Amino acid sequence: MLKTKDLYDLTHTRAASILENTEYPWEALAKIKDFIIELGKTLPKDEFDEVSENVWIAKDAKIYPNNYIGAPAIIGHETEVRPGAFIRGSALVGDHCVVGNSTELKNVILFDNVQVPHYNYVGDSILGYKSHMGAGSITSNVKSDKLLVVVKCGDERIETGLKKIGAMLGDRVEVGCNSVLNPGTVIGRDSNVYPTSCVRGTIPEKSIWKNNGTVVAKK
């Protein structure tokens, strides 16, 4: 369940070409910046404006005032970037997404139809198709001891070699309000996280993470 092919339908992202060559999705994190710069140069000029150096925004995207979009970044078709959004750079945002008020993005891939609409922090993370983060939910991307992130799944431990990894959300994941996803969290497709949860490790697909950390299969 940790592998890219088990988490994502790659037909719903412009990042398919870098993700399809990974075994685990976090292997793509170091490639996002350069990939955006090269991809941006190939985007059709009748569909995207390069509004500043290495920042491409679809002509039909809705960009509200009072936000910041740093390079490199791509904002897809019919995506909304709402007031107070802080896109720090290395952000590949898909089509029909919502980047909400006071939401911060850094080194991320958001598949199509992703919603991070209210007071979210998403860093060094990949959010799958139609995934949604409730108000105030965040990805924590650096361990408190500053050691390299290890992804854990049962007795399996995968050394990532990376200091910064947020969360890998599979397609159609729902994260409840005011939840914290700790570094290296992986959530399988179609799973839910209760509000105010502190999540670490992995959640299988089609499961529910409850407030006390109990994981149950969806019925």
What gap in Å lies between CA 204 and CA 99, rounded to an integer?
Answer: 26
Q: Output the CA–CA distances (angstroms, integers) from residue 152 to 2, 29, 118, 125, 175, in the order listed.
A: 9, 18, 29, 16, 19
List the domain boundaries for the chain.
Answer: 4-207
Q: Which string of b and e fits 155-179 if b means at least 16 CB within 10 Å?
A: eeebebebebbbbbbbbbbbbbbeb
Handedness of CA 145, 135, 104, 207 (dihedral sign): positive
DSSP bridge partners of 5: none
* Tokens encoding 151: 């992804």
Classify domain 4-207 by CATH architecture: 3 Solenoid (2.160)
Q: What is residue 193's predicted lDDT score, i.e. its pLDDT?
A: 98
pLDDT of residue 212: 84
pLDDT at site 69: 98
How far apart, in whole angstroms, are the C-alpha atoms of residue 68 and residue 12?
25
CB-based contact 82:101 (threshold 8 Å): yes
Reported pTM: 0.96
What CA dihedral angle connects 3, 208, 165 and 162, to 10 degrees?
A: -50
C-beta of residue 205 within 8 angstroms of C-beta of residue 170: yes
Tens-level pLDDT at each residue, the chain (219 residues): 899 999 999 999 999 999 999 999 999 999 999 999 999 999 999 999 999 999 999 999 999 999 999 999 999 999 999 999 999 999 999 999 999 999 999 999 999 999 999 999 999 999 999 999 999 999 999 999 999 999 999 889 999 999 999 999 999 999 999 999 999 999 999 999 999 999 999 999 999 999 888 999 998
Q: Can you point out the beta strands (E) in 20-161?
A: 48-52, 55-58, 62-63, 68-69, 73-75, 80-81, 86-87, 91-93, 98-101, 104-110, 115-118, 121-127, 132-133, 138-139, 150-153, 156-159
| Cβ neighbours of residue 120 closer than 8 Å, sequence gap 6 or more | 100, 103, 104, 133, 135, 136, 137, 138
- Among residues 6, 37, 5, the alpha carbon closest in space to that of 21 is found at 5
**Residue 154 pLDDT:** 87
